[in-house]
Amino acid sequence: MRPAVLFVCLGNICRSPLAEAAFRAEAQSVGLTVEIDSAGTGGWHKGHPPDRRAIAVAGRHGVDISGLRARKVTAEDFRRFTHILALDHDNLKTLRALRPVDGAAELGLLLDFAEGLEGRAVADPYYGNEAGFEVTWREVEAAAKGLALALAHLPPPR
Ligand code: 4NP
């Protein structure tokens, strides 16, 4: 099965769109064919573009995320994606509770793929400043690199 990765945070306007962007760039650079999306466990920002500070930091790192629109995680996501990666422990807990019985997606914590940051959460930069978004970018980029390597070792598509 071809890998399909969903990144999940709370609002889907700060952290998970950045994880999606960093991983899209990384997958492309290593030639990995993978479906990529992001979603939030909360629906308050449904249909909204990413936070302007998230758009700005991604732009500074060469990725345009202004076209993304927030959405909420659905039961179908657990069947459609092979991996669903939470940006923090609270969202991982929510995902475990939402998983339908036939949802085969592997659930995990994004930073478990970032060397030296295993078990850690990507802190929510929403109530902070621009510098916080640079920290977020560095963390999701480190995880994106580790994740791309891990997935590149998957068996080829049948
Ligand atoms: P995110 O950040 O989960 O990284 O997208 C947040 C954005 C908005 C809210 C919470 C977190 N909010 O409560 O509106």
Min mean pLDDT across 20-24, 70-74, 119-123, 128-132 is at 128-132
Higher per-residue pLDDT: 60 or 154:
60
Q: Is the pLDDT of residue 87 over 60?
A: yes
> Which numbered atom of ligand 1 lies nearest the CA of 50?
5
pLDDT score of 153: 77
Atom of ligand 1 at shortest range from CA of 13: 5
Give the pLDDT band of residue 1 (cuts 50, 70, 90).
confident
The DSSP bridge pattern shows strands 83-86 and 4-9 to be parallel
Q: Strand 83-86 relative to strand 106-109: parallel, antiparallel, unpaired?
A: parallel
- If pLDDT is split at 50, 70 and 90, which confidence band does 41 have? very high
Residue with tokens 């939402």: 98
Is residue 157 very low, low, confident or very high in pLDDT (cuts 50, 70, 90)? very low
Ligand 1 atom closest to 11 (CA) = 5
Does pTM surpass 0.75? yes
76-82: average pLDDT: 98
The pair of three-digit structure tokens given for residue 30, joined into one six-digit string: 């290593």
Ligand 1 atom 11 nearest Cα: 11
Per the prediction, the chain carries an average pLDDT of: 95
Res. 155: pLDDT tops 60: no
Whole-angstrom distance, CA of residue 17 vs CA of residue 122: 13
> How many CB atoms sit inside 10 A of residue 50's CB?
28
Ligand 1 centre distance from Cα of residue 117 (Å) = 22
Ligand 1 first shell, C-beta below 6 A: 9-15, 44, 124, 126
Place of tokens 């949802």: 103
Instruction: Please tell me the residue having the least CA distance from ligand 1 atom 13.
Output: 11
Q: Check if 79 is active-site.
A: no
Q: Comparing 62-66, 97-101, 119-123, 151-155, which segment has the lowest mean pLDDT? A: 151-155
CATH 3.40.50.2300 is the classification of domain 4-151: yes
Please tell me which residue in 2, 14, 15, 53 is annotated as part of the active site.
15
Find the catalytic residue in 37, 51, 88, 124: 124
Provide the residue ranges of all domains of the chain, joining segments of one domain with +: 4-151
- pLDDT score for 150: 94
